[in-house]
Amino acid sequence: MTRISILLTTTTLLATTTIAQSNREPPSTGLHSLFLSAGKLYFGTATETNNFADPTYQNILSNPLEFGQLTPENSQKWGLIQPQPGDFSFNASDQVASLANSYNHLLRCHTLTWHSQLPPFVSSTSWTPDTLRQLITTHITSVISHFGSACYAWDVVNEALNENGTFRNSVFFEVLGEEYIAHSFEVAREVAPPETKLYYNDFNLETAPEKQTAAVELVKSLQSKGVKIDGVGLQAHFTVGQTPSVESLIATLQRFADLGVDVAWTELDVAQEDVETASELAVEQQASDYVVAVRACLEVERCVGVTVWQFTDRYSWVPGTFPGKGDACLWTENYQKKPAYWAVKGFLEGWVARMNVTRAFVGGNETTVRTVASPRGPLTEVTSGSERLEGSLVKVAFISFGVWLVLNMM
Ligand code: XIL
């Protein structure tokens, strides 16, 4: 081999390496690891202690590539955590918290002031405004202090609104009016570690326009009173074929984000309307509905993550609560990944790959610029990847020519 051909080979090799970086096979990935690569905080799931003895379930739940966040599905609710006045029972929710900790998953804590799953002593006592306010104070103070910094976020108030935008009639609203919401947030802020994110959480904010507007007004009203709220959780319990369009979901998330709060899909599932008659088409539709939801989160900067409300049909709440409906999760009841799982994963891989191309060209010690060529235009300003690639190829050619000259002069 002549010196010149060695040189050319080296040049080609160097150039190919630069290009090959962008084509490199991604390492083994899952929903959470891809979410992290996309710049989000987590992809998570609801879980509960009655699922813990199932080894196949545990295997998936603990996989740090798939999940990076857990929400206790029931055990932190009032009826379970304080079933009798002053009698706190933290056993089950502690198990969820310690599992999250042992897997290194974030814990979203759920929930404090909610009209549902209340113990009888709360729903059927004749409270005065003062005694009920005190009860809320004691409950929130005790529960938040117990978990301390284990909770990344708390759903402080859950489902306070009706679909027509009025306040839901609950024991809290009847006795205290809407003041109970601000009170709950104030107590939570007082006792929670400063880094804990405090959320308002509700369903159908994506589909009921008056409810959505009322939630926006609620956030604004808290903010105008100086009550700090960090996030709005949108439950995202969808039905196959009735999931809003990606444009609509983006607009919904952005509307809340524009108030200066974080947003998240906190309980995502996409149920088949009728499990018995669900066609192959409906299975594909479910896949595209899941992708639409995930994509909307990626497109909105303040969307921190997505939590599915159980990842397997085996433990989904849907059939028990909405007879006939079901098949709402990403895994079947026998732990097969559904087309919806593969569609979400494939979509995320594509999204992240577009970001990585830009990164690979940047290289060296230069600043890494992250961008995604989303259909709405790049999410972040970025120096053109091809300019950078051309730049590095010119550099390689220049150096090679220099070496070639020196060798020939010797
Ligand atoms: C559901 C649980 O999944 C069920 O196991 C339980 O029987 C009822 O509650 N909105 C919420 C969740 O905020 O807490 C609910 O979870 C689903 C609707």
Task: Retrieve residue 378's tokens.
Answer: 């790049």
CA distance 141 to 122: 16
Task: State residue 372's pLDDT score.
Answer: 58
Active site residue 186: no
Question: Does the C-beta of 48 come closer than 6 Å to ligand 1?
Answer: no
Ligand 1 contact via 158 beta carbon (within 6 Å):
yes
Q: Which atom of ligand 1 is nearest to the CA of 48?
A: 5
**Ligand 1 atom at shortest distance from the alpha carbon of 310:** 3
Pocket test for ligand 1, best of 71, 157, 316, 317 (most atoms within 8 A of CB): 317
Residue having the nearest C-alpha atom to atom 7 of ligand 1: 317
**How far does residue 48's CA lie from ligand 1's centre (Å)?**
11
pTM for the whole structure: 0.84
Task: Select which of 48, 66, 159, 299 is catalytic.
Answer: 159
**Cα angle, residue 289 at apex, residues 216 and 255 outer, rounded to 5°:** 15
Nearest CA to ligand 1 atom 5: 317
Asked whether 361 lines ligand 1 (CB < 6 A), one says: no
Residue nearest to atom 13 of ligand 1 (CA): 158
- Of 66, 186, 267, 299, the catalytic one is 267
Check pocket membership of 75 for ligand 1, CB cut-off 6 A: no
Whether 159 is a known active-site residue: answer: yes
| Residue 99, pLDDT score | 98
Q: Which residues of 366-393 are buried (b: 16+ CB within 10 A; e: fewer)?
A: eeebbbbeeeeeebeebeebeebbeebe
The predicted pLDDT at position 379 comes to 55
- Answer yes or no: is the C-beta of 315 below 6 A from any ligand 1 atom: no
pLDDT value for 355: 84
Could you read off the pLDDT tens digit of each residue along the chain, which spans 410 residues?
Answer: 344 443 333 333 333 333 333 444 444 899 999 999 999 999 999 999 999 999 999 999 999 999 999 999 999 999 999 999 999 999 999 999 999 999 999 999 999 999 999 999 999 999 999 999 999 999 999 999 999 999 999 999 999 999 999 999 999 999 999 999 999 999 999 999 999 999 999 999 999 999 999 999 999 999 999 999 999 999 999 999 999 999 999 999 999 999 999 999 999 999 999 999 999 999 999 999 999 999 999 999 999 999 999 999 999 999 999 999 999 999 999 999 999 999 999 999 999 999 866 555 554 544 555 555 554 555 554 444 443 334 343 343 444 444 444 445 44
pLDDT at 402: 43
Answer yes or no: is the C-beta of 316 below 6 A from any ligand 1 atom: no
**Amino acid (1-letter code) at residue 166:** T
Nearest CA to ligand 1 atom 12: 73
Is residue 76 within 6 Å of ligand 1 at its C-beta?
no
